[in-house]
Amino acid sequence: MKESPSLLLLDGLTVGYGRTAVLADLQAHVEPGGFVCVLGRNGSGKSTLLRTMAGLQPALSGQVRLGDEAVGPMPPAERARRIAVVLTEQAHSPGLTTEDVVALGRQPFTDWRGVLSDQDHTYVREAFALAGATPFAGRLFDDLSDGERQRVMIARAIAQRPALMLLDEITAFLDLPGRVEVMALLRRHARETGTVILLSSHDLDLSLQLADAVWLLADGALHVGTAEALITGGNIGAAFNTADVSFSAERGRFELRL
Amino acid sequence: MTTLALPASRPPTRPARWLLGSVGLVLALIAAALATLSYGQVAIPLGEVVDALFNPAADTVAGRILRDLRLPRVGTAIVAGAALGLAGVLMQALLRNPVADAWSLGLMAGGQLGVALTVAGAAFAGPAALSFLEVFRGVSLTLGAAAGVAIAAIAVLTLGRRVGAVTLLVVGLMLTFTVQGIVSVVVHFVSRAGARVFGGWNDGNFASVLPAEWPLLAGVVLVGIVLAGACAKPLNSLLLGETYAKSLGTHVGRLRVLALTATVLLVAPVTAFCGPVTFIGLIVPHIARAIAGTARIGPLLPLAGLSGALLAVAADFVVHLPWQQHFLHLNAVLALVGAPVVIALLLFSPTMRGLR
């Protein structure tokens, strides 16, 4: 199903709005099956970077490459077969069932009428199971809690069977066990299918523990490395320390300066 | 439902639901149409109705009432009701607004204004232009209405991205009042001859379409229906919002243009020939969603078309019952059904209450 190797490459990528660059000249790459957490303070450009990688806004310069193709010039329908996104904003839609929502993930693969094949139905069913959303099958999407809706949206992204999955701060509405579960299932999914999964998060602890690599956004620059390297190198501290809190490299957690 | 919650058990049951609903609606529509054909100021036994339908050569009084009065009226009601129902589905999906409809958001007002300006322009241009207008009444009024509906639709769509659902509804209704004012002023200054061209307006009416004009009405609406069908798949993705639609490969801009064109083709001829028919487009999508058990656009389109036609024919039946004095007003009958639905939506729909 995936002919091209799902290898993600940022090549001199500059992202931003209009003429204002938020992040400039980024270089990074992810191997197939990589699970990457994107960290950074509010306004550091996490969402802008993810939106640009998803092809939802144009890059100011440079390019995002997926396999041997650039994402920017890809036709939207083609892009939708390679890249799936889950956003912070809470989707809602009166009258849609959870099946309707997950089945939307198959839309890029259907003809003009949008009728699902048996194979599509199988993918939808698998996606429900993989995302742990099977208990919500048959219910109205809007009747679910925030966390449950987020699971259905992840199932929709899985049903899309993308080479690259981008998730923007999706754990914000989940409690701690829920977050661990979701991040673990995404990591497992990346390993098992070779999908490259990028997840932006405010969840420093979990991200540092679970990610294959961390992309740290600070002061318009991107620091790439394993969690340990970024901690011991002082990058995490430099990005998040304020007058009130500081990151302790020895203990691996934040401490109040009181 | 069983306790087995596997989604795989669901897909086969879904098509049956909208298909069953469609078959039921077709049967109900045939029954309502026959009732309207046979009952009214003059009652015609069903046998004679069927006779007159299949033996058009026989020139009886009953046959003439049927062919010249009731059949065009029922045909118009079916086409107009279906068109407004479909337009309602398109607009509610496009604006993500459960009370969006061609009438409530002022598209019909735009169409009325277009027609009024067409007639006024012809009247001021002189008697030659006016008699030209009377000969080509159908085409020119449809074009005038289409221009008005299109402008109103673009305005509403632009505004709809900036304001909430309730604000948009109030703006649409105020636009309707404004246009009604303008139309009556225009009619006041246009000569009687001009006013005659759009006599009996400001109320919806399925009886004013001449048999010769019916093909134009039905033809334009048919093109609108085809375009609506082409919108079904991309509109589904828009149900989750614009960003998700884009990420699923939908050209949102292109979709807006397509759905807007379909809406104009569905609404403009109805406005030109029948005047502002209220509430059908607003409540029919909700009926269709209830029958389909989903908000997916594909199954909604046939259901909305059929329930729109059924509602229009049923309302027309009530209008033409043998009342003591003349007929009831179509919009009065529709308001009795539609207004409570809108009030319920305003009170109970999360979107309208501003909760989401």
Asked if the Cβ–Cβ distance from A99 to B349 is below 8 Å, we say no
Q: Does residue B246 belong to the interface with chain A, where contact is any CB pair within 8 Å?
A: yes
Please report, for chain B, the start and end positions of each structural domain, with discontinuous segments joined by +.
Answer: 23-348
Q: Which of B250, B294, B298 sits opposite A95 (nearest CB)?
A: B294
User: How many other CB atoms are found less than 10 A from the CB of residue A169?
Assistant: 19
Can you tell me the mean pLDDT for B316-336?
A: 87
Q: Which has more confidence, A6 or B224? A: B224
Can you tell me the mean pLDDT for A203-207?
A: 85
Q: DSSP characters for B220-264?
A: HHHHHHHHHHHHHHHHHHHTT-HHHHHHTT--HHHHHHHHHHHHH
Distance CA A89, CA B319 (A): 48
Q: How confident is the model at residue B3 (pLDDT cuts 50, 70, 90)?
A: very low
Predicted confidence at residue A1, as pLDDT, reads 44
Asked if the Cβ–Cβ distance from A137 to B7 is below 8 Å, we say yes
State the nearest Cα–Cα gap between A142 and chain B, in angstroms.
10
Asked if the Cβ–Cβ distance from A125 to B248 is below 8 Å, we say no
Please report, for chain A, the start and end positions of each structural domain, with discontinuous segments joined by +.
Answer: 8-225
Tens digit of each residue's pLDDT (9 = 90 or more) over B185-197: 877 777 665 555 5
Tens digit of each residue's pLDDT (9 = 90 or more) over B89-139: 999 999 988 889 999 999 999 998 998 888 888 877 877 777 777 777 788
Asked if the Cβ–Cβ distance from B240 to A104 is below 8 Å, we say yes
Asked if the Cβ–Cβ distance from B240 to A91 is below 8 Å, we say yes
Contact A60, A21 (CB under 8 A): yes
Contact B230, B259 (CB under 8 A): no
Predicted confidence at residue B192, as pLDDT, reads 62
Q: How confident is the model at residue B6 (pLDDT cuts 50, 70, 90)?
A: very low
Q: Which has more confidence, A109 or A19? A: A109
Q: How confident is the model at residue A199 (pLDDT cuts 50, 70, 90)?
A: very high
Phi, psi of A132 (to 5 degrees): 65, 30
Q: Does residue A96 belong to the interface with chain B, where contact is any CB pair within 8 Å?
A: yes
Asked if the Cβ–Cβ distance from A122 to B230 is below 8 Å, we say no
Tens digit of each residue's pLDDT (9 = 90 or more) over B23-41: 999 999 999 999 999 988 8
Distance CA B49, CA B35 (A): 10
Interface test with A, best of B248, B250, B254 (most A CBs within 10 A): B248
pLDDT at A188 over 90: yes
Distance CA B294, CA A94 (A): 9
The residue written with tokens 């058009």 in the block is B56
- State which CATH number among 1.10.3470.10, 1.10.10.10, 3.20.20.100, 1.10.600.10 fits the domain covering B23-348: 1.10.3470.10
Can you tell me the mean pLDDT for A118-129?
A: 95
pLDDT at A161 over 90: yes
Asked if the Cβ–Cβ distance from A95 to B289 is below 8 Å, we say yes
Q: Does residue B355 belong to the interface with chain A, where contact is any CB pair within 8 Å?
A: no
What is the signed CA dihedral for B127, B128, B131, B132, rounded to 10 degrees? -150
HEC string of B153-187? HHHHHHHHCCCCHHHHHHHHHHHHHHHHHHHHHHH
pLDDT at B180 over 50: yes
The residue written with tokens 């009342």 in the block is B323
Asked if the Cβ–Cβ distance from B7 to A125 is below 8 Å, we say yes
Chain A hits for B247, Cβ within 8 Å: 54, 56, 80, 83-85
State the nearest Cα–Cα gap between A56 and chain B, in angstroms.
7
Q: Structure tokens of B248?
A: 């699923």
- State which CATH number among 1.20.120.420, 2.170.120.12, 3.50.30.30, 3.40.50.300 fits the domain covering A8-225: 3.40.50.300
pLDDT at A55 over 90: yes
Q: Does residue A238 belong to the interface with chain B, where contact is any CB pair within 8 Å?
A: no
Chain-wide mean pLDDT for chain B? 86
Can you tell me the mean pLDDT for A25-39?
A: 94
Can you tell me the mean pLDDT for B12-21?
A: 73
Predicted confidence at residue B80, as pLDDT, reads 97
Type of residue found at B270 = V
